[in-house]
């Protein structure tokens, strides 16, 4: 039995510290916007290498509130990957702006900077690159383009906490980084949680207002805000995990290297190939195969978990039927949706499990 992801391992590893953090918050009697969130924000900003971090309710709202913080809305266009999780698109349409999807590089997973230039119009206000599967998007090229056209850039860091481009962390590469701490992410909370990292003091200040009913001073409402606050319990628990994140990501890197080694040369199997300048954190290890259904069945029979990220691209979802982007609109994203397969991966997965997974794939395709 190899689970796709072991969700109990972190508690087993850190029980005394997590229990102590839990007790500290319970005994404080203070649960929303307090010392734990403040401390977490300082620690996570330092980790990412940004001046500010604002703790929020979840990753989707982190993306959305950045756009609201920049006053984006109806009539504005935001460039977004055609190949992503639907949350990236939802943040844009939530503020009333228009999604302008751009295809990934040929084997994916991330947005192709060369195709971004062609998608820029006079209404384009921002680019929202996603570091999908923990692999950084080509931020050097994206930032060059953005500066040339006067566009804002908000990174979707949901799958890439700790990843780097030439030594700098994801979340510190654009104008703002939106993070999700959903439990399955590399840096997951024990419930919903999120944050924005940025060097922009004005944006950080606005986010603090937006997350708290539009107010800085209790019962004085400067604008129509939201309720999207990282809570004290999640902040306290995340503070226990943060010092381990780099080591956990290092373990994921070892697993990925072993997958690359053990899966090399299997016919009909495309392996992930991160660019030289990128330091991915392997949120997911995703292969491509035309015979995906057979592989999943063989893995399932062997007691090995596997998943598809993602089976239907956003433009083909019923949620976006009104955009009229039918099948064939984004062939690269559609092809990836038909062929991608995520293999077991996680900070607590034994390295030898990789060999078992690889053996099943080789026996099936080999």
Ligand X SMILES: *Cc1c(COP(=O)(O)O)cnc(C)c1O
> What distance lies between CA 189 and its chain's CA centroid?
14
Shortest separation between residue 114's beta carbon and ligand X, angstroms: 22
On whether the CB atoms of residues 126 and 151 are closer than 8 A, the answer is yes
Q: Which residue in the set 10, 45, 78, 87 belongs to the binding site for ligand X (CB under 6 A)?
A: 87
Widest pairwise Cα distance in the chain:
67
Number of residues that bind ligand X (CB under 6 A): 15
Applying the rule CB under 6 A, the residues between 128 and 157 that interact with ligand X are: 130, 156
Q: Which residue in the set 48, 53, 60, 361 belongs to the binding site for ligand X (CB under 6 A)?
A: 60
Shortest separation between residue 135's beta carbon and ligand X, angstroms: 12
Map 164-210 to HEC letters. Answer: EECCEECCCCCCEEEEECCCCCCCCCCCCCEEEEECCHHHHHHHHHH
Q: Which residue in the set 25, 41, 59, 64 belongs to the binding site for ligand X (CB under 6 A)?
A: 59
* Closest CB to ligand X among residues 88, 364: 88
* Closest CB to ligand X among residues 225, 314: 314
* Closest CB to ligand X among residues 111, 255: 111
Angle at 205 between CA 216 and CA 230, to 5 degrees: 75
End-to-end CA distance of the chain: 22
Q: Which residue in the set 182, 282, 310, 320 belongs to the binding site for ligand X (CB under 6 A)?
A: 182
3-state percent helix, strand, coil for the chain, nearest multiple of 5: 45, 15, 40
* Closest CB to ligand X among residues 192, 200: 192
Query: Does position 88 bind ligand X by CB under 6 A?
Result: yes
Catalytic residue from among 164, 185, 241, 335: 185
Segment (H or E) for 352: helix 351-365
Query: Does position 332 bind ligand X by CB under 6 A?
Result: no
- Binding region for ligand X (CB under 6 A) out of 70-78, 85-93, 291-299, 347-355: 85-93
Q: Catalytic: 185?
A: yes
* Closest CB to ligand X among residues 116, 358: 116
Neighbours of 206 (CB within 10 A): 21
Q: Which residue in the set 48, 55, 58, 272 belongs to the binding site for ligand X (CB under 6 A)?
A: 58
Three-state SS at 356:
helix
Q: Which residue in the set 158, 203, 204, 358 belongs to the binding site for ligand X (CB under 6 A)?
A: 158
Indicate the burial class of 2 (C-beta count within 10 angstroms; 0-12, 13-18, 19 or more): buried
- Who contacts 290 (Cβ-Cβ below 8 Å, separation ≥6)? 268, 339
Binding mask 185-224 for ligand X (x = CB under 6 A): -------x-x------------------------------
Neighbours of 147 (CB within 10 A): 10
Query: Does position 159 bind ligand X by CB under 6 A?
Result: yes
- Binding region for ligand X (CB under 6 A) out of 84-92, 198-206, 235-243, 342-350: 84-92
Shortest separation between residue 109's beta carbon and ligand X, angstroms: 10
Indicate the burial class of 119 (C-beta count within 10 angstroms; 0-12, 13-18, 19 or more): middle
Indicate the burial class of 259 (C-beta count within 10 angstroms; 0-12, 13-18, 19 or more): buried
Catalytic residues: 185
The residues that touch ligand X, with contacts defined as CB under 6 A, are: 58-60, 84-85, 87-88, 130, 156, 158-159, 180, 182, 192, 194
């Amino acid at each position: 039995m190899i689970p796709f992801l072991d969700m109990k391992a972190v508690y087993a590893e850190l029980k005394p510290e997590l229990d102590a953090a839990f007790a500290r918050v319970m005994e404080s009697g203070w649960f929303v916007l307090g010392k734990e969130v403040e401390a977490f924000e300082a620690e996570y900003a330092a980790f990412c290498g940004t001046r500010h971090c604002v703790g929020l309710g979840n990753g989707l709202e982190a993306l959305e509130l950045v756009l609201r913080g920049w006053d984006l809305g109806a009539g504005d266009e935001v460039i977004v990957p055609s190949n992503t999780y639907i949350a990236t698109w939802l943040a844009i349409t939530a503020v009333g702006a228009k999604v302008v999807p751009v295809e990934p590089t040929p084997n994916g997973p991330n947005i192709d900077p060369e195709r971004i230039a062609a998608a820029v119009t006079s209404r384009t206000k921002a680019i929202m690159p996603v570091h999908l599967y923990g692999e950084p998007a080509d931020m050097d090229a994206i930032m060059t383009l953005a500066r040339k056209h006067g566009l804002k850039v908000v990174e979707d860091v949901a799958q890439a906490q700790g990843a780097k481009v030439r030594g700098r962390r994801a979340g510190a590469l654009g104008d703002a980084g939106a993070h999700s701490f959903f439990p399955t992410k590399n840096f997951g909370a024990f419930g919903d949680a999120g944050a924005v990292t940025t060097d922009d003091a004005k944006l950080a200040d606005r986010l603090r207002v937006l997350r708290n009913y539009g107010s800085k001073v209790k019962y004085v409402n400067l604008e129509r805000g939201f309720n999207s606050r990282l809570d004290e319990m999640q902040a306290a628990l995340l503070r226990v995990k943060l010092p381990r994140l780099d080591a956990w990501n290092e373990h994921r890197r070892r697993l990925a290297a072993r997958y690359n080694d053990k899966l090399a040369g299997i016919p009909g199997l495309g392996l992930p190939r991160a660019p030289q300048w990128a330091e991915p954190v392997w949120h997911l290890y995703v292969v491509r195969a035309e015979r995906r259904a057979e592989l999943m069945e063989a893995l399932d029979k062997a007691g090995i978990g596997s998943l598809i990220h993602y089976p239907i691209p956003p433009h083909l979802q019923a949620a976006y039927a009104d955009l009229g982007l039918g099948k064939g609109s984004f062939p690269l994203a559609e092809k990836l949706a038909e062929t991608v397969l995520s293999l077991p991966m996680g900070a607590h997965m034994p390295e030898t499990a990789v060999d078992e997974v690889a053996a099943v794939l080789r026996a099936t395709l080999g």
